[in-house]
Amino acid sequence: MKKNNIDYEKVLKEIEKEVLPFMCDGEVASYIAPLAGVNPNQFAMSLQFLDGREYHKGASQKKFSIQSISKVFSFAHIMKLYKGDLQNRLGLEPSGNPFNSLVLLEYENGVPRNPFINAGAIVVADMLISYYKNNTFDKVLEHIRLVGDTLNVDFDNGLYQCEKISGYRNYSMVNMMKSFGNIKNSIDDVMSLYFKLCSIEMNTKELCRTMLFLANHGVNPITKDVFLTSSQAKRVNALMLTCGHYDASGDFAYRVGIPAKSGVGGGIVAIIPGLMSLCVYSPRLNKKGNSLVGTKALELFTTKTGLSIF
Ligand code: GLN
C-alpha cells in the first residue's frame, strides 16, 4: 500500500475493533499504588504527521502517567547538553533483562546497559543535575512543553510521592551505582528528579506532538524548532528500536518493526522516520511490563499499512 493512499481513519477504526478481544488480557502495574487504581479497560491511539495532519481514536484526551516514556525525553535532553562521549557512564546495548533488574549492575561496575532501563535513566538524571545544578526538573519540563508546543503538561504529585517512598529497587540501583562512583550527586536529589520525570502526565495526542521531532531529524516540523542534530535523532531512534521495550525489545521489533518506547503507565510512543509519530495507551501490561493492547495495536498498524522501517 502506498503511504499516500492509506485511509488512516479506516485503519484506526479497524484497529480499535480488532483489539477488543484482547482488552481483558494482562494486568495494570500494581507495584505503584496509584497505577493499580486506574480503569484497566481504556484505549487511545493518536497519529501525528510531519505535515500537520493528525488522527485520533478512543480516549486521546485522557492524561496518563508516562512513566518510562520520560526516559526518551531525559536522554534526548542530555544528548543535547553533553557534547562529549556518554559511554563511560552509560552503555548502548540491550540489557536482555527486566527494566528494574539489578543483576548486570554489579558485574558491569555500576554502568547501566542503556538509558532506557531504570538504572540508565537514573544516571541520566544524575547527569542532568550536574549540568543544571538547580531546578533541574523545571528545566526539563520546560523543554518538554516547548518541544510539544503545549503548556498543559505537568507531573502528578501524589504518584511522585508514592514512588519516592516505595521505589525500593530503584534505591538499590542508585546505591549500587553510587558505590561504583557512577552517581555524582546526592541520592535524594537524583531520585527526586527520576521519580518526577516518571510521574509526568500526558495524553496520546500530546505525546505524539512532543516526539515528532524524532521523526524529522531532530527538528519539530510544525514549530521549526531544532532540538537535536540529525545524527543525534538517529541515535535516539536506534536505541528506541533496540532497547525501548527492555527484554521484549527484540520481540517488539520483530512484530512491529519501528522505534518505540513504552512505560508501565500503559503508553507506547513510536516513530516512523520521515513520516509521523504514533502513540497508543491501554493500561493492562504484558509479562514484560509493556502495554499488551498497545503492542497489538501497533503491530496491526504496521501490518495493515506496511509502514514499518523494514
Ligand atoms: N517509575 C517506574 C519505575 O521506576 C518506571 C518503570 C517503567 O515505566 N518501566 O519502576
Q: What is the pLDDT of residue 170?
A: 98
CB under 8 Å to 76, separation ≥6 — which residues?
A: 214, 227, 228, 232, 236
| Helix, strand, coil % over all residues of the chain, rounded to 5 | 50, 10, 40
Tell me, yes or no, if 246 is annotated catalytic. Answer: yes
CB 283 within 8 Å of CB 293: no
**Any bridge partners for residue 262, and if so which?**
268
Question: Does residue 99 form part of some domain?
Answer: yes
Residue 86: pLDDT over 90: no
Which residue among 68, 70, 262, 291 is the active-site one? 68
% the chain with pLDDT above 90: 94
From the CA of 265, give the closest atom in ligand 1: 8
The sign of the dihedral angle between the CA atoms of 64, 174, 30, 99 is: positive
**Cα(263) to centroid(ligand 1), Å:** 7
Stretch 211-239: mean pLDDT, rounded? 95
From the CA of 67, give the closest atom in ligand 1: 8
**Cα(282) to centroid(ligand 1), Å:** 16
Question: Does residue 310 form part of some domain?
Answer: no
Q: What is the pLDDT of residue 133?
A: 96
CB 147 within 8 Å of CB 210: yes
Place 88 in a pLDDT band, splitting at 50, 70 and 90.
confident
Q: What is the pLDDT of residue 55?
A: 98
Decide: pTM greater than 0.75.
yes
Q: What is the pLDDT of residue 11?
A: 98
Q: What are phi and psi of 41, to 5 degrees?
A: -100, 45
Average pLDDT, the chain: 96
CA distance 214 to 220: 8
Q: What is the pLDDT of residue 1?
A: 55
Residue 85: pLDDT over 80: no
C-alpha cell at 305: 499499512
C-alpha cell at 252: 517488539
Q: Does 117 contact ligand 1 (Cβ within 6 A)?
A: no
Structural domain total, the chain: 1
CA distance 17 to 37: 25
Residue 103: pLDDT over 70: yes
C-alpha cell at 48: 501525528
Q: What is the pLDDT of residue 82?
A: 84
CB under 8 Å to 38, separation ≥6 — which residues?
A: 28, 64, 266, 283
What range does the domain containing 14 cover? 8-305
Which residue among 111, 123, 153, 264 is the active-site one? 264
Tell me, yes or no, if 264 is annotated catalytic. Answer: yes
From the CA of 195, give the closest atom in ligand 1: 1
Q: What is the pLDDT of residue 84?
A: 73
**Digit-coded pLDDT (tens) for 261-309:** 999 999 999 999 999 999 999 999 999 999 999 999 999 999 999 999 9
**Digit-coded pLDDT (tens) for 32-68:** 999 999 999 999 999 999 999 999 999 999 999 999 9
Q: What are phi and psi of 188, to 5 degrees?
A: -65, -45
Question: Does residue 211 form part of some domain?
Answer: yes
CB under 8 Å to 266, separation ≥6 — which residues?
A: 28, 29, 38, 42, 64, 281, 282, 283, 284, 285, 291, 294
Burial of 118 per CB tally in 10 Å (0-12, 13-18, 19+): buried
Q: Given its phi and psi angles, is residue 52 left (phi above 0), alpha (psi -120 to 50 degrees) or beta?
A: left
Q: Does 200 contact ligand 1 (Cβ within 6 A)?
A: no
Please give the distance of CA 4 from its chain centroid, rounded to a whole number: 28
Closest-CA residue to 42 (of 280, 302, 301): 280
CA distance 138 to 154: 10
Stretch 226-253: mean pLDDT, rounded? 96
Question: Does residue 2 form part of some domain?
Answer: no
Question: Does residue 283 form part of some domain?
Answer: yes
Closest-CA residue to 297 (of 275, 259, 263, 267): 267
Question: Does residue 1 form part of some domain?
Answer: no
The CATH number covering residue 51 comes to 3.40.710.10
**Digit-coded pLDDT (tens) for 185-219:** 999 999 999 999 999 999 999 999 999 999 999 99
Stretch 122-149: mean pLDDT, rounded? 96
Residue 4: pLDDT over 90: no
Say which DSSP state 96 is in. Answer: S
Tell me, yes or no, if 68 is annotated catalytic. Answer: yes
